[in-house]
Structure formats: C-alpha cells, structure tokens
Chains A and B, each alone.
Chain A
Amino acid sequence: MEMDSNETQPTVVVSSPARRISLRQMTLSDVDHYMVWATDAEVARFCSWEPCTSREEAIKYITDSVLTHPWLRAICLEDDRPIGYILIMPVDNIRKEIGYVLARKYWGKGFATEAVRLVTAEIFKEMPEIERVEALVDVDNVGSQRVLEKVGFTREGVMRNYIIMKGSVRDMVMFSFLPSDPFK
C-alpha cells in the first residue's frame, strides 16, 4: 500500500482542488497496466490475492472479478493510464467497505489519499441510505492506515484475530467515515 511521506502544500491558493487523478471504469484494454501492480508481491502483501503470474490469468481475473464488480474504478493519471483501482463493497443496507490498490511506483505521492477522498464523498451522494463507510487495514500496513487518517477517517480500534489472510490470523484496524464527518 501507499507509504505517504509528508506532503508540502503549495503557497498559491487554487480555486479548485488540484485533481491529479481521475476515476473511470476499468476495461480489458487496461490489462497491461493492471499487470504492473497485480504481479508485484509487495503490492499483494496485504491483499487477499496472490500476485498474478500471466497475462491470461490477468485477463481472466479482470473478466470474472473486475468487470463484474458492483463498484470498482481505475485510478488514472492525466494520460488516462491506470495506476491502481479503488472499490466499494456492500456490507449491509447501511454500511459499505472501501478498498484500494496502487502500483508501487506511485506510492508516497498522495494518490491513494486523493482517490479515497473522492470516492468517499461520492458514495454518500450516490447512496444516501449509507450511514457508514468503513475500512479494515492490517495492523502492519502502516502506509494504508496513514491514507485513511489523512482523509479524515476515524480509527476506531484494533480488532484482534479478526480475519484469516493467506493462512494467518491477523489483527485488523477498523476505520470509519460518516456522512457528518469533515474531510481533512
């Protein structure tokens, strides 16, 4: 996940937020960009999936799991090149869970933070019945915890022995964002 260093803010005040990334639907033509992060063991470290090992496997995964996903967006740079994706999973009628993955080359630049901020704001507009967006982060995944804290998620606590990840029982940090919470 993203390891954010301290970002310096520009002294010039801009009238609209600097939008360095855009979100769009993923397509099969994104497969080569997808493979950049999907084959990377460091990216996969805290994900439930193992690194991808072939283009065929990538095409199958995009077809079966990505294109069919109820809410998944490619995170793209200005040239429309995907550098990762962000998704929203249903939990129940009032809760959604957010997840995201970014190619390692783009870690530490605030891209995941921007994507999470965009999506969280968007979800409450698109789905007004949603009372809570949550995220579960491995205790060791400090970079991803920082992303959520920078957006303004509340760190609610460590859930001990919460899930099995790649054969090990892991402690997970629970974060949440409510429609009434302020973005940082």
Chain B
Amino acid sequence: MPSKETDQENSKESSSKMEIDSCTLKAVSSSPSEKIHLRPMTLSDIDDFMVWATDINVTRFCTWEPYTSREAGIAYINSFVLPHPWLRAICLDDDRAIGSISVTPVDSIRGEIGYVIGSKYWGKGIATEAVRLVAAEIFKEMPEMERLEALVDVDNIGSQKVLEKVGFVREGVMRKFMYLKGNVRDMVMFSFLPSDSLL
C-alpha cells in the first residue's frame, strides 16, 4: 500500500518515525536490522502462517500446540483471525508475513497484547518494533482503552525483554495464574498506559 513519504523517512536518524496509512503501520528505525510494517492478515497468508505455526520453538509458550495441517491453519484464519477485532500480520519489505500481533479486549478499558514471530527472525528487534508500533497507535484506534497489558510466562525471558525495551511496566509475578499445556504457570504481568512514554 502506498504511503506518504517525507524526506525524514529516509534519514538515518535513530528515532522511530511512525507513519499511518489507514491499516498500514510502518516504522523506519535503525534499531531492527529489517524494516517491518503491520497489515491485516488474510487467507492468502496461509503458507507463511504455517511456517511459524508448525514450529515447536515458536509455540513453546503459546496455549496452542503446533499446527499439523494446512486445513487446520485455514480454519484458524477463518474462525479466529478474520473476525478478530485487532490482529495484524508482521511483514518485511516484501509484504510476506513472518508473524502476527494482536490486541484483544479484556473488558471495556483493558486490552491484552499478544505476538508471535517465526524463529528464523528472532533476535533482530522485530517483535520489539511491532510492539512499539502497536503501543504508539492503539490508544488512538481504541480511545476507551485505559490499559494495554501483557501476560508472559516467567520462563519466557525473550518476550519479557521485548516489553521492557518498549517501555511496558513490569507490575509483578502472578503466581499459579493460568494453565499452559496442562501445567499451572506463574505469569509476569506488564502494562502500558496512554500516559506512559515509549522508550
């Protein structure tokens, strides 16, 4: 999708410039090694979806098991992705999806952020950039939201670092908070408020 380009977008400044064009959020930042943008996910993303959804390293801290069939992946996109109130594919320059990020309403004032990235793309600052994009824009899109929260398994250090790097506040460890694949897990609660500053 074409976006308005300014001279600043092509500069090599270290600060992130946010560009909004209806459904596309694009960040130009020197911190991740690859530029990413967010866009709605569609059925045509099914093969890219299967790359991360079948990967047991990716699903380790997800509530779901790796997908084993393309049909199940299609069913997931139809029943969960397409009707979701706010879910985006995380894409590189070629517009191929390498993961997804979503904000799910918990109640009238709280939303929960969740994200998943193909393991080939870990360690490049991509999740951090995607979360930063969402935290910067979501309160404009959902003005009634007062709190964006995230629940991360105590052992999922990588995901905790993503949220800390964006500027989420680590509120505490909720002990025996939820089931993950048959085990009751301690979860770290993070939050980001409209008044908080992005790092």
B20 at the binding interface (Cβ < 8 Å):
no
Q: Nearest residue in B to A155 (C-beta to C-beta)?
A: B172
Given A94-B184, A169-B109, the answer on whether A161 and B175 have CB atoms closer than 8 Å is no
Counting CB contacts under 8 A, is A162 at the interface?
yes
- The chain A residue with its CB closest to the CB of B148 is A161
Select B172's contact among A156, A161, A162, A164, beta carbons within 8 Å.
A156
140-160 of chain A: CB within 8 A of chain B: 154, 156-160
Q: What's the minimum C-beta distance from A155 to chain B, rounded to whole angstroms?
A: 8
CB distance from B71 to the nearest CB of A (A): 30
Q: A131: which B residues are within 8 A, CB to CB? A: 176, 184
Given contacts A164-B108, A169-B109, contact A159 B193 (CB under 8 A): no
Q: How far is the CA of A178 from the CA of B175 in the complex (A)?
A: 8
The 0/1 profile, CB within 8 Å of A marked 1, for residues 172-199 of chain B is: 1111111100001000010101000000
In whole angstroms, what is the CA distance A158 to B170 when docked? 10
> Within 8 Å of chain B (Cβ to Cβ): is A176?
yes
Judge whether A160 and B175 touch: CB under 8 Å: no
Known interface pairs A94-B184, A164-B109, A169-B109; A159-B176 also in contact (CB < 8 Å): no
Question: Which residues of chain A have C-beta atoms less than 8 A from B169's C-beta?
Answer: 160
Which A residues are CB-close (under 8 A) to B178? 92, 94
Contact with B along A80-106 (1 / 0, CB 8 A): 000000000000111100000000000
Residues of B contacting A: mostly: strand
Check B110 for interface membership: any CB of A closer than 8 A. Answer: yes
B80-118, CB < 8 A from A: 108-110
Do B191 and A161 have beta carbons less than 8 Å apart? yes
> Does B35 belong to the interface (CB within 8 Å)?
no
Contacts of B193 in A (CB 8 A): 160-161
A174 partner, pick from B108, B174, B179, B184, beta carbons under 8 A:
B174
Q: How far is the CB of A178 from chain B (nearest CB, A)?
A: 6
**Chain A residue at minimum C-beta to C-beta distance from B195:** A161
Q: How close is A35's CB to chain B, nearest CB, in angstroms? A: 31
Cβ of B146 within 8 Å of any chain A Cβ, yes or no, is: yes
Q: In the complex the two chains form, is A154's CB within 8 Å of B109's CB?
A: no
Q: A94-B184, A164-B108, A164-B109 are in contact. Are A159 and B175 (CB under 8 A)?
A: no
A111-165 contacts to B, CB under 8 A, are 131-132, 154, 156-164
Question: Are B177 and A160 touching (Cβ within 8 A)?
Answer: no
B86 nearest CB across to chain A (Å): 19
Does B147 belong to the interface (CB within 8 Å)? yes
A94 / chain B contacts, CB cutoff of 8 Å: 176, 178-179, 184
Asked if B7 CB lies within 8 Å of chain A CBs, one says no
**A161 and B174 form a contact (CB under 8 A):** no
A159 and B146 contact, CB distance less than 8 A: no
Q: Which residue of A lies closest to B110 (CB)?
A: A162
Q: Chain A nearest CB: distance from B40 CB in Å?
A: 28
Separation of A182 and B99 alpha carbons in the complex (Å): 43
The residue that A132 contacts in the complex, of B171, B173, B175, with Cβ under 8 A, is: B175
A132 touches B147 (CB 8 A): no
CA distance A120 to B53 in the complex (A): 41
For the complex, give the distance between the alpha carbons of A95 and B191 in Å.
21
Of the A-B pairs whose beta carbons lie under 8 Å apart in the complex, a sample of 7, sorted by A's number, is A92-B178, A95-B176, A132-B175, A156-B173, A156-B189, A160-B193, A161-B146
Residues of B within 8 A of A (CB): 108-110, 146-147, 169, 171-179, 184, 189, 191, 193
By a beta-carbon cutoff of 8 Å, the part of chain A in contact with chain B is: 92-95, 131-132, 154, 156-164, 169, 174, 176, 178
